[in-house]
Copies of this chain bind each other. A is one copy, B any other.
Amino acid sequence: MLLTDLRKKVWKDNTALPANGLVLWTSGNVSARDPESNLVVIKPSGVHFEDLTPENLTIVDLDGNVIEGDLAPSVDTESHLYIYRHRQDIHGITHTHSPYATCFAILGKSLPIYTTTSAAVFGREIPISDIAAVGETAIGKEIVDKIGNNSALLLKNHGVFTVGKSSTDSLKAAVILEETAQSVYYALSLANHIEPLSKKYVQEVYDFYQNNYGQK
Protein backbone atom coordinates (compact mmCIF):
# COMPACT_ATOMS: atom_id res chain seq x y z
CA MET A 1 0.00 0.00 0.00
CA LEU A 2 1.34 3.42 -0.97
CA LEU A 3 2.18 6.24 1.43
CA THR A 4 1.21 4.39 4.62
CA ASP A 5 2.55 7.12 6.95
CA LEU A 6 0.83 9.94 5.08
CA ARG A 7 -2.41 7.90 5.04
CA LYS A 8 -2.30 7.78 8.86
CA LYS A 9 -1.77 11.52 9.16
CA VAL A 10 -4.55 12.38 6.71
CA TRP A 11 -6.90 9.90 8.40
CA LYS A 12 -6.18 11.43 11.83
CA ASP A 13 -6.69 14.96 10.51
CA ASN A 14 -10.00 13.99 8.84
CA THR A 15 -11.30 12.48 12.09
CA ALA A 16 -10.33 15.71 13.87
CA LEU A 17 -12.94 17.58 11.80
CA PRO A 18 -16.01 16.21 13.64
CA ALA A 19 -14.08 16.09 16.96
CA ASN A 20 -13.54 19.86 16.70
CA GLY A 21 -17.12 20.61 15.64
CA LEU A 22 -16.15 21.67 12.13
CA VAL A 23 -18.30 19.23 10.14
CA LEU A 24 -21.52 17.22 10.27
CA TRP A 25 -22.53 14.11 8.37
CA THR A 26 -20.09 13.35 5.50
CA SER A 27 -19.16 16.83 4.31
CA GLY A 28 -15.76 18.43 4.72
CA ASN A 29 -12.42 16.84 3.91
CA VAL A 30 -8.67 16.98 4.45
CA SER A 31 -6.00 16.04 1.90
CA ALA A 32 -2.21 16.00 1.75
CA ARG A 33 0.29 15.93 -1.12
CA ASP A 34 3.35 13.73 -0.84
CA PRO A 35 6.38 15.93 -1.64
CA GLU A 36 8.27 13.10 -3.36
CA SER A 37 5.68 11.61 -5.68
CA ASN A 38 3.16 14.47 -5.89
CA LEU A 39 0.45 11.89 -5.11
CA VAL A 40 -2.47 13.18 -3.06
CA VAL A 41 -4.22 11.31 -0.22
CA ILE A 42 -7.84 12.42 0.18
CA LYS A 43 -11.11 11.43 1.85
CA PRO A 44 -13.43 9.25 -0.26
CA SER A 45 -16.76 10.80 -1.28
CA GLY A 46 -19.86 10.52 0.93
CA VAL A 47 -18.23 8.32 3.60
CA HIS A 48 -18.99 8.99 7.30
CA PHE A 49 -15.96 10.11 9.31
CA GLU A 50 -16.35 7.25 11.79
CA ASP A 51 -16.09 4.78 8.90
CA LEU A 52 -12.77 6.20 7.64
CA THR A 53 -9.55 4.22 8.09
CA PRO A 54 -6.04 5.01 6.87
CA GLU A 55 -6.53 2.18 4.35
CA ASN A 56 -9.80 3.29 2.75
CA LEU A 57 -8.59 6.78 1.83
CA THR A 58 -8.15 7.36 -1.89
CA ILE A 59 -4.85 8.24 -3.59
CA VAL A 60 -4.97 10.28 -6.80
CA ASP A 61 -2.35 11.89 -8.99
CA LEU A 62 -2.37 15.61 -9.81
CA ASP A 63 -4.52 14.95 -12.90
CA GLY A 64 -7.19 13.21 -10.84
CA ASN A 65 -6.46 9.62 -11.83
CA VAL A 66 -7.18 7.19 -8.99
CA ILE A 67 -3.84 5.50 -8.25
CA GLU A 68 -4.95 3.44 -5.25
CA GLY A 69 -8.29 2.90 -3.54
CA ASP A 70 -11.62 1.16 -4.06
CA LEU A 71 -13.67 4.25 -3.27
CA ALA A 72 -14.27 7.30 -5.46
CA PRO A 73 -12.44 10.33 -4.07
CA SER A 74 -14.20 13.37 -2.55
CA VAL A 75 -16.39 15.35 -4.93
CA ASP A 76 -14.08 18.26 -4.02
CA THR A 77 -10.93 16.48 -5.26
CA GLU A 78 -10.51 18.58 -8.38
CA SER A 79 -10.58 21.77 -6.26
CA HIS A 80 -7.79 20.36 -4.09
CA LEU A 81 -5.76 19.29 -7.13
CA TYR A 82 -6.14 22.66 -8.84
CA ILE A 83 -4.62 24.25 -5.74
CA TYR A 84 -1.77 21.72 -5.54
CA ARG A 85 -0.98 22.19 -9.27
CA HIS A 86 -0.80 25.98 -8.94
CA ARG A 87 0.87 26.33 -5.52
CA GLN A 88 4.06 24.31 -5.10
CA ASP A 89 4.34 25.48 -1.48
CA ILE A 90 1.05 23.91 -0.36
CA HIS A 91 1.07 20.29 0.84
CA GLY A 92 -2.14 20.15 2.89
CA ILE A 93 -5.72 21.40 2.37
CA THR A 94 -8.78 21.38 4.63
CA HIS A 95 -12.34 22.16 3.52
CA THR A 96 -15.26 22.66 5.91
CA HIS A 97 -18.65 24.36 6.30
CA SER A 98 -17.91 25.21 9.94
CA PRO A 99 -20.89 27.24 11.15
CA TYR A 100 -19.40 30.54 12.38
CA ALA A 101 -16.91 30.93 9.53
CA THR A 102 -19.70 30.04 7.08
CA CYS A 103 -21.74 32.90 8.59
CA PHE A 104 -19.13 35.30 7.22
CA ALA A 105 -19.01 33.38 3.92
CA ILE A 106 -22.77 33.95 3.60
CA LEU A 107 -22.39 37.63 4.45
CA GLY A 108 -19.73 37.88 1.76
CA LYS A 109 -17.36 39.82 3.97
CA SER A 110 -13.69 39.34 4.70
CA LEU A 111 -12.92 38.74 8.36
CA PRO A 112 -10.67 41.39 9.94
CA ILE A 113 -8.30 40.44 12.76
CA TYR A 114 -9.79 41.23 16.17
CA THR A 115 -7.90 38.73 18.34
CA THR A 116 -4.26 38.03 19.12
CA THR A 117 -4.77 34.33 18.34
CA SER A 118 -5.96 34.97 14.80
CA ALA A 119 -3.18 37.56 14.42
CA ALA A 120 -0.66 34.91 15.48
CA VAL A 121 -1.96 32.22 13.11
CA PHE A 122 -3.06 34.24 10.04
CA GLY A 123 -1.11 37.51 10.25
CA ARG A 124 -3.64 39.33 8.08
CA GLU A 125 -7.37 39.68 7.35
CA ILE A 126 -9.08 36.48 6.09
CA PRO A 127 -10.13 37.18 2.48
CA ILE A 128 -13.52 36.39 0.90
CA SER A 129 -13.96 34.95 -2.60
CA ASP A 130 -16.63 35.70 -5.17
CA ILE A 131 -19.35 33.11 -5.79
CA ALA A 132 -17.57 30.40 -7.76
CA ALA A 133 -19.13 29.06 -10.92
CA VAL A 134 -20.51 25.54 -10.46
CA GLY A 135 -17.88 22.83 -10.82
CA GLU A 136 -14.78 21.94 -8.90
CA THR A 137 -12.21 23.48 -11.25
CA ALA A 138 -13.94 26.85 -10.93
CA ILE A 139 -13.79 26.58 -7.15
CA GLY A 140 -10.09 25.69 -7.25
CA LYS A 141 -9.34 28.66 -9.52
CA GLU A 142 -11.31 31.03 -7.27
CA ILE A 143 -9.30 29.83 -4.24
CA VAL A 144 -5.93 30.21 -5.97
CA ASP A 145 -6.92 33.66 -7.25
CA LYS A 146 -8.11 34.98 -3.88
CA ILE A 147 -6.23 33.30 -1.01
CA GLY A 148 -2.98 35.18 -1.64
CA ASN A 149 -0.41 34.53 1.08
CA ASN A 150 -3.03 33.78 3.71
CA SER A 151 -3.65 30.22 4.97
CA ALA A 152 -7.46 30.60 4.93
CA LEU A 153 -10.14 31.76 2.52
CA LEU A 154 -13.86 32.27 3.06
CA LEU A 155 -15.58 30.83 -0.02
CA LYS A 156 -18.66 32.97 -0.67
CA ASN A 157 -21.98 31.24 0.08
CA HIS A 158 -20.10 27.99 0.61
CA GLY A 159 -17.62 27.63 3.48
CA VAL A 160 -13.91 27.53 4.20
CA PHE A 161 -10.71 26.36 2.52
CA THR A 162 -7.47 26.40 4.49
CA VAL A 163 -4.00 25.46 3.28
CA GLY A 164 -0.61 24.74 4.79
CA LYS A 165 2.73 22.98 4.57
CA SER A 166 0.99 19.82 5.81
CA SER A 167 -2.54 18.55 6.29
CA THR A 168 -2.18 19.23 10.03
CA ASP A 169 -1.17 22.84 9.41
CA SER A 170 -4.27 23.34 7.24
CA LEU A 171 -6.42 21.65 9.90
CA LYS A 172 -5.03 23.95 12.60
CA ALA A 173 -5.90 26.98 10.46
CA ALA A 174 -9.47 25.67 10.04
CA VAL A 175 -9.86 25.18 13.82
CA ILE A 176 -8.46 28.59 14.75
CA LEU A 177 -10.52 30.31 12.05
CA GLU A 178 -13.73 28.81 13.46
CA GLU A 179 -12.72 29.70 17.03
CA THR A 180 -12.06 33.33 16.16
CA ALA A 181 -15.13 33.59 13.89
CA GLN A 182 -17.27 32.44 16.83
CA SER A 183 -16.10 35.16 19.25
CA VAL A 184 -16.08 37.81 16.53
CA TYR A 185 -19.64 36.88 15.54
CA TYR A 186 -20.78 37.35 19.15
CA ALA A 187 -18.99 40.69 19.45
CA LEU A 188 -20.33 42.03 16.12
CA SER A 189 -23.89 41.08 17.10
CA LEU A 190 -23.59 43.35 20.18
CA ALA A 191 -21.89 46.35 18.52
CA ASN A 192 -22.37 48.20 15.27
CA HIS A 193 -18.66 48.64 14.78
CA ILE A 194 -15.55 47.21 16.40
CA GLU A 195 -12.13 48.50 15.50
CA PRO A 196 -9.89 45.67 14.25
CA LEU A 197 -6.33 45.37 15.53
CA SER A 198 -3.89 47.57 13.58
CA LYS A 199 -1.85 46.02 10.76
CA LYS A 200 1.34 46.88 12.64
CA TYR A 201 0.17 45.17 15.83
CA VAL A 202 -1.07 42.11 13.91
CA GLN A 203 2.31 41.78 12.19
CA GLU A 204 4.19 42.06 15.50
CA VAL A 205 2.03 39.35 17.10
CA TYR A 206 2.46 37.13 14.03
CA ASP A 207 6.25 37.49 14.08
CA PHE A 208 6.45 36.84 17.84
CA TYR A 209 4.30 33.72 17.60
CA GLN A 210 6.10 32.24 14.57
CA ASN A 211 9.36 32.48 16.52
CA ASN A 212 8.26 31.38 19.97
CA TYR A 213 5.38 28.86 19.80
CA GLY A 214 5.57 25.10 20.10
CA GLN A 215 8.47 22.64 20.40
CA LYS A 216 11.63 23.11 18.29
Where the two chains meet, the residues of A that have a C-beta atom closer than 8 Å to any C-beta of B are 20, 24-27, 44-47, 71-72, 75, 97, 99-100, 102-107, 114-117, 131, 134-135, 157-159, 172, 175-176, 178-179, 182-191, 194, 197, 201, 204-205, 208-209, 212-216
A135 contact set on B, CB distance < 8 A: 208
Q: A45-B214, A188-B190 are in contact. Are A106 and B114 (CB under 8 A)?
A: yes
Indicate if the CB atoms of A46 and B187 lie closer than 8 Å. no
Chosen A-B contacts, 10 in total, with CB atoms closer than 8 Å, are A20-B25, A24-B175, A24-B179, A99-B182, A102-B115, A105-B183, A116-B158, A117-B158, A131-B201, A185-B190
Indicate if the CB atoms of A186 and B99 lie closer than 8 Å. yes
Q: A20-B25, A201-B131 are in contact. Are A187 and B115 (CB under 8 A)?
A: no
A209 contact set on B, CB distance < 8 A: 75
